[in-house]
Chain A
Amino acid sequence: MIEFFQIFFDKLPQWWPEMQTAAGRTLLLTAYAFILAIIFGLALALAKLSRSSMLRRVASVYIEIMRSIPTLVVLFIIYFGIVPLGITLNALTAGSIGLGIHAAAYVAEIFRSGIEAIQSQNESFRFSAGVGLAWSSPIGPLKFSYAIPLNAKEGDREQRFQFQAGTAF
């Protein structure tokens, strides 16, 4: 165990520059893959929520496939698999693309559940926009309000004008 630490501290100065570069590359790769995953994932999520059933199906098949394949396989297909087709990517590019399009499938699901959560909230809430006039008269506060419902559904009871005298505590 002591030997272990001895080697560790003897070699560390010599290894340090390389380790630093490696850590930098890792962070760079993470950043690239993350950006790609966010953009592509958002596109996938929107496709999955779109009205066109074709787009929806394509997006869900893509997500299902990507979620069932190991990252390593995706990377190998992108880096080695397309070489016979005449395309060669450098390792960092291939790594960013592979990690990015793989993570996009997960990100898409996160976005989708987020968007759906908001949409379902919108379903249950009704919104309106309007103006009001309040006058603190000598008798007490008087309020006149007029509002128009924005997303009224069939069968809702609407009230566009409201007059209020006094204040509710």
Chain B
Amino acid sequence: MFAAALLAGAFVSIQIMLGALGIAIAIGLFMALLATTRVVPLRLFVACYVEVFRNVPALTQLFIIYFGLAQVGLRLQPIPAAIIGLGLGGGALLTEVFRAGIQALHHGQREAAVAVGMTPIMAIRYIILPQAWRIVLPPLGNYSISLLKETSVASAIAAPEIMFYARQLVTRSFETPVIYSLTALLYLAMCLPIGRLVARLERRSRAWQ
């Protein structure tokens, strides 16, 4: 009977994780490309974004987005607020990851691609990104696992995910050790397969090298 409620929560947790992961990858990729341009104001902007979001705890970010914005008149539902909050924080992290991945490649790669007649966008799409992908994969995998765990802070803004249901069950039944252990097991059951999947992806991209 506990398991059913927690499983409903697990579904929402995964939803938040996938949403935030999508936003974080999109932002991270975009910002990393901006950070590798030669335009100084753009690079400054990216640096500010990264520093601010990397140095503010996820919980604080969620509170600002959920409670803070509501005061100013922008009322978000808990789940979208959690997705946006975690996505923005993750975007800062992934910006650094992607930037490192792109800069690890020799700049001659891009120059050579442009020299054989590719447009800069084509060079990024067909030459830079496929190679950066391999470098970026391990940290990206680690990030998605820690993101799934970090969705637990969304319970603080009443997003109905695992931790939220766990707390509710505890206040109703007082079976504290059982419920939190079950919660731990559930996270374990979700994180281990992701870890395996990432390991397999890494092996495949290495074989392809």
Which residues of A are at the interface with B, using a C-beta cutoff of 8 A? Answer: 4, 64-65, 67-74, 76-77, 80-85
Contacts and interface: CB of A to CB of B under 8 A. Distances in A.
B40 interface: no
By secondary structure, the B interface counts as helix
Interface residues of B toward A: which range? Answer: 20 to 34
A80 B176 contact: yes
B176 A81 contact: yes
A80 B152 CA distance: 16
A68 B150 CA distance: 11
Interface in B128-171: 145, 149-153, 155, 163, 166-167, 170
A69 B176 contact: no
By secondary structure, the A interface counts as helix
Given A73-B180, A77-B177, A77-B184, A68 B163 contact: no
B191 interface: yes
Nearest to B167: A76
A84 B191 contact: no
B183 A73 contact: yes
B177 A64 contact: no
A83 to B, nearest CB: 6
Contacts of B70: none
B170 A68 contact: no
